[in-house]
Chain A
Amino acid sequence: MSDELVSNMVAKMQGHTIVMGYKFLGMYVVERLREMGLEFVVLVRDEAQLPSLHKEGIPAMGSPIARSYQALVKAGAARASSIICTFDDDGDNLLTILNAKKINPKIRAITIVNDDELYEAAVASGADVVVAPYELAGQILAMSTVSRGVSAVFVKGNMKDKFVAEFTVDREDVAMRFSELCRLASVIMVLNREGQLLPNPPDDYTVRTGDTIYVLTERGELLELEHRLAEKGVIRLEPPQG
């Protein structure tokens, strides 16, 4: 894939996604966009990355900081539907959003912020979705030190900062009515022993050993929830270590 070919490809793109940066995060975003069958172009600060990207068949262009605006124009920001900023430098990400919104006010701007204190600044710059990876990961890891159950976290919307905890019913011979279980915990779904996901099981569904329950919970409630489930003989708590 040559530079000329990439330029021609990009010139024909419409409603595509622009991915800024190609380290681990940019690379994985590209993998997912490919899986989703979406059109995209990658912009990298370091032009030395271009030959290897072209070799992999990834449409990529150089975007040195001094020519950031021009690079976005060349990448078809005016026709793009979204832009995903994955640079390590938050300043670069914010600058990119400002430029992209100037070119195309309707573009959907998605960015990471490495310093979570810049969250508001990113929103003020026009970002539609802001994800703080280190904040998110720190939260997950910290919660996981006290519970093995934490399995998902809400990052925005009405449920922001709530968790989903996942518990496998590991006590022997458990047979509990779903309605009874719901009195113990805010169960949102059950993955039964056969691997079938039951989002809204009927009240008379019997939760048995080997099923996995998904519970909506909050940070301060997690430990109490685990203990409640253990006391009622649903799950097993491991003995304290250390």
Chain B
Amino acid sequence: MSHRRVKPHESFGSRLRDTLDVLLYGPFAILRQIRIQLGLIAVMFGFGTIVFMHYQHLSPLAAFTGSVSTITTIGLYAPNITAMPPLEQVIMVVIFIVSVGLAASLVQSIVTTAVSREILREQLVAKRVSRLSGHVIVAGAGRLAEHTTKWLVNIGVDHVVLTPNRELLRQLIHHGKLGVYGLPERAHEALRIAGVSRASVLVCVFEDDGDNLLFAMNARRLNPKLRILMSAHDKSVAQSAQTSDVDMTLPIMDIVSQVLAQASYSEEVVGVGFRKGVNGEYPVYSEFQVGSEGIGLEELSRVTPIIMMMRGSQVLLNPPPNTVLRRGDTIYTYTEDHSKIRDLRERLRRKAAKQLGHT
């Protein structure tokens, strides 16, 4: 079990690193957005250099200076247009048109990146994720991803959400949380960006059980020591996942069905176990109000195991068998067999009815 609950974003050093990221990595993030335009302009400079070298017989450095000067419209070098061969004129026109287009695109990209801070934020988040270690990765897109994340925040565990949902990612980043974009079909790459090789746990919570398996298998290959938890709607998938790469599979619907079915039958069910018990069923915990006086705990324990009781506001764990219950006590049972709940309820009801009859 990993006890590390590192919160790099909360320490002074990390805050300093985050600030430095904005100052140093921010401009770099903008450069990344305009790298294609910058590359094409460089090509234009090179092309102009070759043209000037060939037609104007300039040295490489002078031709390059002339090319940059002409394309950037500084105009340090201005060959006589009328003396130019027609092909050189055509080439120069093409260079000018392409360069002006590229310059406009470049300005637009810089402005868009700087104004819409989303891109910058995503880049900065990616940078912060790259510094995490021993963290939890939550891979998913729907309600379960949101709930898991909410609980991880509650218990203070550092985590990154890996999601194919752009809107969810935008919201996460907007609220200062860590999230990265990734599609199930590119699970390998997405997990790598989420820092799977340094992570301690991966939680797969996609609606589609297949996506969960895909992420689990990829993650296992990338980090054999990773602990993988997975939700599954289909209990047969849960069973097969349990025998493969997954450390813990939670068959949500199967477990919830146990609570719902038991609740249709008894109002006493208050808790559910998600590991199958000795009889291969999910155990349920039930809460019974005692409505009679003088009933012995030992007698009730013969019906079903009574694990604890409440008297007033006091919880009594492992009450001794000779405990005599009072009206208003609450007893708690553990069972995999629903009929035991019915039997105990009947026993308590009969006892209460008998006492009522006597009075």
What residues make up the interface of A, taking CB atoms closer than 8 Å to B?
17, 24-25, 28-29, 31-33, 36, 38, 81-82, 84, 86, 108, 110, 112, 114-116, 128-129, 131, 133-148, 151-160, 164, 166, 182, 186-189, 191, 195, 197, 199-201, 214, 216, 219-220, 223, 226-227, 237-238, 240-242
Give the number of residues in B that approach A within 8 Å (Cβ atoms): 80
A44: min CB distance to chain B, Å: 16
Chain B contacts with A in 236-275, Cβ cutoff 8 A: 248, 250, 252-265, 267, 270-275
Instruction: Tell me whether B182 is interfacial, beta carbon within 8 Å.
Output: no
Contacts of A108 in B (CB 8 A): 263-264, 267
In the complex, which residue of chain A has the Cβ closest to the Cβ of B278? A195
| B151 pairs with A139, CB closer than 8 A | yes
| A156 pairs with B270, CB closer than 8 A | yes
| B317 pairs with A188, CB closer than 8 A | yes
The interface stretch among B47-55, B76-84, B171-179, B330-338 is B330-338
Known pairs A159-B271, A241-B200; A200 contacts B260 (CB<8 A):
no
A138: min CB distance to chain B, Å: 3
| B200 pairs with A242, CB closer than 8 A | yes
| B301 pairs with A142, CB closer than 8 A | no
Of the candidates B234, B252, B261, B275, the one whose C-beta lies within 8 Å of that of A166 is B275
Known pairs A137-B250, A141-B203, A242-B198; A131 contacts B260 (CB<8 A):
yes
Instruction: Tell me whether B227 is interfacial, beta carbon within 8 Å.
Output: yes
Number of A-B contacts (CB under 8 A): 238
| B199 pairs with A242, CB closer than 8 A | yes
Contacts of A145 in B (CB 8 A): 136, 152, 157, 159, 200-201, 203, 227, 229
Instruction: Tell me whether B205 is interfacial, beta carbon within 8 Å.
Output: yes
In the complex, which residue of chain B has the Cβ closest to the Cβ of A235? B1
- Binary flags per residue of B306-334, CB closer than 8 Å to A gives 1, else 0: 11101000010111110000000010101
| B317 pairs with A133, CB closer than 8 A | no
CB<8 Å pairs between A and B, sample of 5: A24-B233, A28-B253, A82-B265, A146-B1, A182-B317
B99: min CB distance to chain A, Å: 49
Chain B contacts with A in 152-210, Cβ cutoff 8 A: 152, 154-155, 157, 159, 198-201, 203, 205
Known pairs A82-B264, A142-B157; A137 contacts B305 (CB<8 A):
no
In the complex, which residue of chain B has the Cβ closest to the Cβ of A136? B256
Contacts of A24 in B (CB 8 A): 233-235, 253
Known pairs A200-B321, A227-B3; A25 contacts B253 (CB<8 A):
yes
Query: Given A137-B144, A148-B248, A201-B318, 4 other A-B contacts at CB below 8 A?
Result: A116-B147, A133-B256, A154-B270, A219-B154
Instruction: Tell me whether B5 is interfacial, beta carbon within 8 Å.
Output: yes
A82–B261 Cα distance when bound, in Å, is 10
In the complex, which residue of chain A has the Cβ closest to the Cβ of B144? A134
Known pairs A29-B260, A191-B278, A200-B301; A128 contacts B151 (CB<8 A):
no
B262: min CB distance to chain A, Å: 8
A112: min CB distance to chain B, Å: 7
A135: min CB distance to chain B, Å: 5
| B271 pairs with A138, CB closer than 8 A | no
| A226 pairs with B264, CB closer than 8 A | no
Of the candidates A17, A115, A140, A142, the one whose C-beta lies within 8 Å of that of B274 is A140
| B229 pairs with A144, CB closer than 8 A | yes
Contacts of A114 in B (CB 8 A): 143
Contacts of A227 in B (CB 8 A): 3
Contacts of A86 in B (CB 8 A): 260
Known pairs A38-B265, A146-B1, A146-B155; A200 contacts B258 (CB<8 A):
no
Contacts of A38 in B (CB 8 A): 264-265
Contacts of B234 in A (CB 8 A): 24
Instruction: Tell me whether B66 is interfacial, beta carbon within 8 Å.
Output: no
A37–B148 Cα distance when bound, in Å, is 35
A133–B253 Cα distance when bound, in Å, is 8
B176: min CB distance to chain A, Å: 19
Of the candidates B152, B225, B267, B307, the one whose C-beta lies within 8 Å of that of A129 is B267
Contacts of A201 in B (CB 8 A): 318
A191–B250 Cα distance when bound, in Å, is 22
| B157 pairs with A157, CB closer than 8 A | no
